[in-house]
Structure 1
Amino acid sequence: MEPTAGKPSFLRNILVRLLLFGVLFIVVRFAYVVTIAGESCNVGNFCFFSLPENLNFVIAGPGTGNSAIAVNKAIVSSTAVPTQRELYTSKDWIKAVNFFSSIFQDLMSQGYLLPESKSLCVETPNGQDVFALKEIGVKDSVGTFKKASKPLVVSGEAHRLPFDDNTFDFVFSGGGRLDKSSRALDFATEIARTLKPEGFAVVHVSAKDTYSFNSFLALFNCCNLLTSRDIDGFDSSMPHIREMVLKKEYDIHGHGVYQPRDDSGNKCSVPGYKQELVRKAEPLIAEEPLKPWITLKRNIQKIKYLPSMADISFKRRYVYVDVGARSYGSSIGSWFKKQYPKHNKTFEVYAIEADKTFHEQYKVKKGVTLLPYAAWVRNETLSFEINRDPGEQVTEKGRGMGRIQPLTSKGGNSGGRFDGEVDEILGFDFANWLKNTVTERDFVVMKMDVEGTEFELIPRLYETGAICLIDEIFLECHYNRWQRCCPGQRSSKYEKTYGQCLDLFTSLRQSGVLVHQWW
């Protein structure tokens, strides 16, 4: 009888299948580690294609000679995907490492960074700054980014860092990353939170003007600015950089915890850097125009908007307040949304409008909060003038702008008389609302068209200190427009003169408030 070959073939098939299963397992594990977990490949991760331990690359140093920088197997490994290996040996990556090495060596020479400093680099996708720290001897260094690239970079977003309070001696944010953040205050707060008291934070930003410079400092009101200098960047995306060195101070309890400044006081003075913007603004119209509705409309083309004169990047949030908004298309939709230079910032919009004729349309407008009241100097019931021809149906198009008066003034002194239909509405303390809604760290734009009530509201903003919370005002001042063109056709609706309006604008600008004549 011939020998049977079935059993060896069966065993061979089993061995082949086991081998194939093992290879498949290793491939799947490798793909998970590199592409999903975002980690470097090593033996513990079932990757068996690592480069030798002593593999070195020669990287050109910032000086005249070359410096040999040993690139650890855990950083550059042949087991990494080819694009990752190419990244760590690319000219751009090496150039960035040299740039950061030079920066950190300067900071070391000034005593802001020590070899034993526990250091953090925030928002570093490729870890060049972390590698540069390690290369100059700061071994206890780590970076964060939304996707990890271990061992240099761990997962963590700038507005929610995965570290305890008071962890690091040195925190660095380069590349203008704070400029580009949509949550600048949260970014700065996390740097301050994780930094130890008397630790140093170094931030590279593109603050080119005094407005943005002071806006940046307001984000770090737990820290003192030690030095500031302008340096050249290492790529075309940010050719010029301002380097800020800040030191975290202890709070009054000695904990070194980030403490926001109290903005609740009534006294304020508009800072000098805002007064600089006023001097750059378009001139006021000194002489009363013969046809104001034409002249003021043309003047809008000459307006120098604040975001066109200064960088508004370093603000906590962005707010537009339309006082006397009327319909959505009256100014929010037709002007602010289309013409105001928002620089890709998302604004919270508040529409303050007492006339209930316009309220319904705001229910379907996303991003707009309606306050269905009249802006006033205190909380009380007011008389509201309904401007329309007798017998005319109350519609949005037929609705005129209405004046308001306290109930006690109805039918009282001159200027307090209403000629048309009157309704009762609720008024609220606008200045107090503003102080409870925004802070000095917000960017606040206001348009005010309140049918003469500006002569009460503006002094109230000064009295409460709320005027300092507004960055830019577009104000329509109401006066008797018939006085110059048609002296015999005086209207009792407005008692103020153009000269009184001009005084109001002038006093605002002399106080450092950037105000524009509106119509």
Structure 2
Amino acid sequence: MESVAKQRSAKGLIVRLLLLGVCIVLLRFAYVVARRGGSCFSGDFCFFSPASEVLSLPGGVSHSEAAYVRIQDGLSLSGETRQLWTSREYRKAVEFYSAVFQDLVGEGFLSPCSKSLCIDSASGHEVIALKEIGITDVVGISRKKLQPLVLAGDIFHQPFANNTFDFVFAGGIDRTRQPANLAGEIARVLKPEGFLVILSTFAGDLYSLNSLEILFPSLKIIRSREIEVHDSPKLLREIVFQKANSIKIRYPIEDKPSIGGNLINKCPIPEHKLQLLRSAEPLIEEEPQKPWITLKKNIKNIKYLPSMTDISFKQRYIYIDVGARSYGSSIGSWFKKQYPKQNRTFEVYAVEADKAFHEEYASKKGVTLLPFAAWVRNESLSFVVNHDSEQKDDEKGHGMGRIRPAAALSDDLSSRDVHVIQGLDFAEWLKRTVTEKDFLVMKMDVEGTEFDLMPRLFETGAICLIDELFLECHYNRWQRCCPGKRSPKYQKTYGQCIDLFSSLRQRGVLVHQWW
């Protein structure tokens, strides 16, 4: 009997303890409902979560709204923020970035101990995704603050010390108008051997990918691939960079001239240049009888570089008209109206020595006049005023004949035929003005001096800076006034011009024939 009584007493004690536990849970639940408006978070001893709060993450992991509270280190969220973060579209974005970052973890580019930064993370998707996969030391920066995930700040002047982060994610570098400035700031805050990951809708071709890599001289591309976006037909380009321990220096690659050529190439000819050249329009190898008509036809066939590739990842956009003549000759009539600019604003330079055109440029905004003749040295030169019948009207000025040093003047020329001008070492000026980070388009019409300028551009390496060249090659062509008669102004033949164009393309220059 005594044994039975002891058993009943023990059972009663257990029941009372269980009832006490149930009461504690019920009281706690009542407190949560009263204080949180019915939301049940994982840290509140709840046995269930409302069905509307259960959200799916990559890998089949289920999270409630509590996941968002936990990543805030106990900081409370406003109802508006909580509603945003639990919306379906927001969760889809977080899931996408979570999958991207989990792949990077698996490949060793990211780890739980990586101090991480998300650039231009206005919505906080990327920061939340990193925290959900276990990256705790992460912050975002954007123009708009999203407390406490994203700091408000200038992404071009970030409030972080040099070499701060092991991992930087930049999903919007293709949206900025200053990609070079942003690239410099990213490289500054990234630690040596740290990783940068860029997601871009651009950089889908070799040219734009090379342009992007040039923005980061201290980083090297480790991998580039296309990734799918969930429930979307579009693809994104994922590029992984790693920062070197020391700055990478780009040395020019010298190339011996080919047989029959005299151009020494100091530029590499990478695959992205060869790809563009393979897509360019063919050269017109047979001499046209009426070149002034051929130009109008040929201009419709030109494969402009911006029509073949993306030019977004450039620091500046520059057009240089060498031998510009009047503003309407090519800047206003062709470049401004016809050249495809991909909505970019170009700096325009007009290189023109003839004073007859200078006054016109004074009133043209956005155009910088260089009142010199493009030449191989800085020295005084002469040019002969043309009086032949090919000059149609006075609007286009005198027209320049063959430029030569002043000492080479012929005795049979009267003073009214000769003008003394200042020659500019054009190749050296170009190297001081333009960098490989810039996008440079050039048109050159220099009255035969192209046969002097091209070797100089190659010799100095300045040719490497030109992305696209429109070149008029001057030869003893048929005259418009007199059928069957060639112009006596130039000694070169059309065959020599074709050799020049072919030599330029063989050395990686995207050059088009111009008349």
Q: Same fold (TM over 0.5)?
A: yes
Instruction: Report the equivalent of 2:238.
Output: 243
Corresponding residue of 1:321 = 320
Alignment of 1:113-128 (within 5 A): 113-128=110-125
- Does 2:476 match 1:477? no
Q: Tell me how large the CA RMSD over aligned residues is.
A: 2.9
Aligned amino acid, residue 209 of structure 2: F
Letter of the 1:248 counterpart: K
Q: What is the alpha-carbon distance in structure 2 between the residues aligned to residue 461 and residue 338 of structure 1?
A: 28
- Aligned partners of 1:260, 1:366: CA distance in 2, in Å? 37
What SS class does the counterpart of residue 299 from structure 2 fall into? Answer: helix
Distance 1:423 1:485 in 2: 26
Would the alpha carbon gap of residues 417 and 165 (structure 1) be closer, same or farther in structure 2, given more than 3 Å must change? farther
Deviations 1:432-473 (A, max 9, x none): 111111122211110001111111111111111111111110
Superposed displacement of residue 274, structure 1: 0.6
Structure 2 counterpart of 1:511, which letter?
R
Instruction: List aligned pairs for 1:452-467, cutoff 5 A.
Output: 452-467=448-463
1:154 corresponds to which residue? 151
Map 1:250-289 onto structure 2 (within 5 A): 250-251=245-246, 267-289=266-288
1:264-286 Cα offsets, whole Å, 9 max, x none, are: 99932333321221111011111
Secondary structure in structure 1 of the residue aligned to 2:193: strand
Q: CA deviation at 1:428?
A: 0.7
In structure 2, C-alpha distance between the alignment counterparts of 1:188 and 1:490, rounded to whole Å: 54
| 1:364-416 Cα deviation digits (max 9, x unpaired) | 222211111000010000002223579x9x9544533443211122117xxx9
What residue number does 1:184 align with? 179
- 8 Å Cα contact 2:356-2:397 kept in structure 1: no
| 1:123–1:144 Cα contact (<8 Å) kept | yes
> Which structure 2 segments of 5+ residues have no match?
1-34, 43-52, 255-264
TM superposition shift of 1:485: 10
Aligned equivalents of 1:52, 1:119: Cα separation in 2: 35
Compared CA separation, residues 55 and 336, structure 1 to 2 (3 A): farther
Tell me the matched-pair count.
455
- Is the 2:321–2:349 contact (alpha carbons within 8 Å) kept by the matching residues of 1? yes
Alpha-carbon shift at residue 200 of structure 1 (Å): 1.1
The within-5 A match list for 1:47-196 is: 55=41, 57-64=53-60, 66-68=62-64, 70-72=67-69, 79=78, 82=80, 84-174=81-171, 177-196=172-191
**Gap change, CA 1:431 and 1:169, over 3 Å in 2:** same
C-alpha displacement of 1:120: 0.2
Alpha-carbon distance in 2 for matches of 1:359, 1:234: 58
Contact 1:223 1:246 in 2 (8 A): yes
Please state how far the C-alpha of 1:101 moved relative to its aligned partner.
0.8
Conserved? CA contact 2:169–2:196, under 8 Å: yes
Deviation at 1:263, TM superposition (A): 7.5
Give the match's secondary structure for 2:436. coil
**Residue 126 (structure 1) shift:** 0.4
TM norm structure 1: 0.81
The 2-side partners of 1:50 and 1:443 are apart by 57
Name which of 211, 215, 222 aligns with 2:211.
Answer: 215
Q: CA deviation at 1:67?
A: 3.6
Q: Equivalent pairs: percent with the same residue? A: 59
**Cα gap change, 1:117 to 1:269, in 2 (>3 Å):** closer
* Aligned positions of 1:421-436 closer than 5 A: 421-436=417-432
Does the 8 Å CA contact 1:198/1:248 hold for their aligned counterparts? Answer: yes
Per-residue CA shift, 1:294-314, capped at 9, x if unaligned? 012210000000111111111
Amino acid at match of 1:189: G
- Cα distance change on mapping 1:234 and 1:292 into 2, 3 Å: same
Query: Contact (CA 8 Å) 2:218, 2:244: kept in 1 or not?
Result: yes
Q: Secondary structure at the match of 1:72?
A: helix
8 Å Cα contact 1:380-1:426 kept in structure 2:
yes
- Does 2:365 match 1:362? no
TM-score, normalised to structure 2, is: 0.82
Deviation track 1:137-157 (CA, whole Å, cap 9, x = no partner) reads 111111111111110110123
The alpha carbon displacement at 1:491 in A equals 2.9
Amino acid at match of 2:498: L
Q: Is the 8 A contact 2:127 2:140 kept in 1?
A: yes
Provide the C-alpha distance between the structure 2 equivalents of 1:286 and 1:112, rounded to a whole number of angstroms. 52
Alignment partner, residue 12 of structure 1 = none
Change (3 A) 1:76 1:97: farther
Name the CA shift for 1:357/1:60 in 2 (closer, same or farther; >3 Å).
Answer: same
**3-state SS of the aligned residue for 1:302?**
coil
Aligned 8 A contact 1:381 1:424 in 2: yes
Q: Secondary structure at the match of 1:366?
A: coil
Structure 1 residues 374 and 398, CA, compared in 2 at 3 Å: closer, same or farther?
Answer: closer
- The one-letter amino acid of 1:249's match is A
Q: Contact (CA 8 Å) 2:318, 2:441: kept in 1 or not?
A: yes
Distance 1:475 1:185 in 2: 29
Deviations 1:165-202 (A, max 9, x none): 1111110012xx11121111111111110011111111
Whether the 8 Å contact between 2:252 and 2:266 is mirrored in structure 1 is: no
Matched residues in 2 for 1:418 and 1:495: separation? 22
CA contact 2:290–2:478 (8 Å) conserved in 1: no
- Whether contact under 8 Å (1:358, 1:396) holds in the other structure is no
**Are 1:264 and 1:435, in contact at CA under 8 Å, matched by a contact in 2?**
no
For residue 158 of structure 2, give the secondary structure of its aligned residue in structure 1: coil
Aligned-partner Cα distance in 1 for 2:496–2:239: 45
Structure 2 counterpart of 1:515, from 486, 506, 511 = 511
The aligned residue for residue 27 of structure 2 is none
Question: What corresponds to 2:305 in structure 1?
Answer: 306
Distance in 2 (alpha carbons) for counterparts of 1:249 and 1:457: 38
1:382 corresponds to: 381
After superposition, the Cα gap between the structure-2 partners of 1:379 and 1:475, relative to the gap in structure 1 and judged at 3 Å, is same
